[in-house]
Amino acid sequence: MSPARPCTGLRAAVAASVGLSDGAAGSARSCRLLRPPSPAPAAPGARLLRLPGSGAVQAASPERAGWTEALRAAVAELRAGAVVAVPTDTLYGLACSASCSEALGAVYRLKGRCEAKPLAVCLGRVADVYRYCQVTVPEELLKDLLPGPVTLVMERSEELNKDLNPFTPLVGIRIPDHAFMQDLAQMFGGPLALTSANLSSQASSLNIEEFQDLWPHLSLIINGGPIGDGQSPECRLGSTVVDLSVPGKFGIIRPGCALENTTAILQQKYGLLPSHGSCS
């Protein structure tokens, strides 16, 4: 990625690296759209599980039992190579095992997504970032931003599946500030590929009804209830996306919902400089 690019070029290039752009400028590669599947009856094994509550629930309680059931069901489906709908701290998402090439292909087909647009990676703990990325920022910086509504773009490591975003050396990392997603990633024990729960180029989803057309093609839907205020456009901004691939600098690729706080941390606390052409 050239730091001399104008803002629009930088946004297109790095947004493509983390799977953010569903428009025509998402990648320099030729973009072959994968047609979404036709509507079909729900698969016999499809399940919808509602989380018993938001945040942590008490051990040995009925709510905890329901929470654990949802976690175990999701992990089983993910390990079987299925695609699961999940709530996050910003939007509803589609998750699959980042190590399962067949599952990655299923996500692209399900969304009708251009195959040149990469997927982000969801992890359960800050310590996991070091396994899957080449980290050039202080650990405290990571802990100041994660978990949270932020996607951090860094150089990927050799640990990631080579079929995951094979055309870019970068990867976008998410650790949602959502108890279920953190528990899920930790129980699964590996990287999850994560993208928004919607057809490519359509509006993001704040409740499960908004992506109901995708239900027949999912193995499991985890219903965490509404996310934010569905009437507020700001609630559909998604995470703030930051390029940290250049040491000592940062670039805001997507302002998202946490721009002010993120920029303040990067500049005022850690002295990072906006990269040339950054949209910050």
Instruction: Judge whether residue 28 has pLDDT over 50.
Output: no
Residue 24 binned pLDDT confidence (cut-offs 50, 70, 90): very low
Mean pLDDT of 187-210: 95
CA quadruple 156, 123, 172, 154: dihedral, nearest 10: -40
Note the pLDDT of residue 116.
Answer: 84
Mean pLDDT of 82-89: 98
Of residues 224 and 32, more confidently modeled: 224
For the ranges 41-50, 84-93, 97-106, 215-224, which has the lowest average pLDDT? Answer: 41-50
Instruction: Judge whether residue 183 has pLDDT over 80.
Output: yes
Mean pLDDT of 238-255: 96
Q: What gap in Å lies between CA 71 and CA 65, rounded to an integer?
A: 10
Q: What gap in Å lies between CA 238 and CA 151, rounded to an integer?
A: 10
Note the pLDDT of residue 106.
Answer: 96
Residue percentage of the chain with pLDDT more than 70: 78
Instruction: Judge whether residue 13 has pLDDT over 70.
Output: no
pLDDT tens per residue across span 168-182: 999 999 999 999 999
DSSP state of 186: H
Predicted TM-score (pTM) of the model is 0.83
Instruction: Judge whether residue 130 has pLDDT over 50.
Output: yes
Structure tokens at 231: 């009437």
One-letter-per-residue 3-state SS of 102-134: HHHHHHHHHHCCECCCCCEEECCCHHHHHHHEE
Note the pLDDT of residue 64.
Answer: 74
Domain definitions of the chain by residue range: 7-274
Residue 200 binned pLDDT confidence (cut-offs 50, 70, 90): confident
For the ranges 83-92, 140-149, 199-208, which has the lowest average pLDDT? Answer: 199-208
**Contact assessment for residue 111 and residue 208, using Cβ atoms and an 8 Å cutoff:** no
Residue 33 binned pLDDT confidence (cut-offs 50, 70, 90): low
- In the block, tokens 């990072």 appear at 272
Q: Which CATH superfamily is domain 7-274 in?
A: DHBP synthase (3.90.870.10)
